Amino acid sequence: MNTTRRFLLCACGAAGLTASMPAALQARTALPSISMAEHERCMRLAIAEARGNPMYPFGAVIVRPSASGGAGETMARGVNDARENPILHGEIACMNDYLRRHGNKGWADMVLYTTGEPCSMCMSALVWAGIGGVVFASSVEGILAAGIDQIRITTRQVAEASPFYSGLLLGGVLAAETDKMFLERKR
Ligand SMILES: [Zn+2]
């Protein structure tokens, strides 16, 4: 793999991430260093958004990480609204909210947190935006295991097919919680 890329995808649980990932994160990303506790705090915000759609609990927030290592600033939020519009996945809804509030700028300084691994549509949109980082909880496999249709293309595959993109990519944050949320969703 090209060593300038910053793929830090990890299928392990949050405990494993805490033990093994932060040093790599800090060494390889242009974003401020982000602790695993902060990743988990932000993921809980995404989970809170997801509660807005009990059948398809895909929620997302966009956070500007703090340069001083404290809590980042929540810049935008969104939840899956595909019943209204088929492209309004949580990530797209969140990107639209960001655009409304902040305009089409500043993406490289932002990290999107989402309860489910972005689909190929959403990950492509995030790549085109040039977002600084994408952090997700449940993987494509975890989403499929909950009986939700999902295109079998991973975020990593989309990123690797986009040589102009070098954002942070991290998976599995609070996945145990979101896997359970997807399994127990309203049907
Ligand atoms: Zn999507």
Q: What is the pLDDT of residues 66-124, one digit of tens each?
A: 999 899 999 999 999 999 999 999 999 999 999 999 999 999 999 999 999 999 999 99
CA of 12 relative to ligand 1 center, distance in Å: 22
What pTM was estimated for this model as a whole?
0.86
CA of 117 relative to ligand 1 center, distance in Å: 8
CA of 119 relative to ligand 1 center, distance in Å: 4
Checking if the pLDDT of 128 tops 90, the result is: yes
Please give the span between the terminal C-alpha atoms of the chain, in angstroms, as a whole number: 41
d(CA 157, CA 185): 28
CA of 68 relative to ligand 1 center, distance in Å: 32
The pLDDT of residue 2 is 41
When pLDDT is cut at 50, 70 and 90, the band that residue 9 belongs to is low
d(CA 60, CA 92): 9
d(CA 53, CA 41): 20
The pLDDT of residue 14 is 40
CA of 91 relative to ligand 1 center, distance in Å: 6
d(CA 108, CA 65): 11
CA of 94 relative to ligand 1 center, distance in Å: 11
d(CA 72, CA 111): 10
d(CA 128, CA 17): 27
The tokens of 13 are what?
């649980």
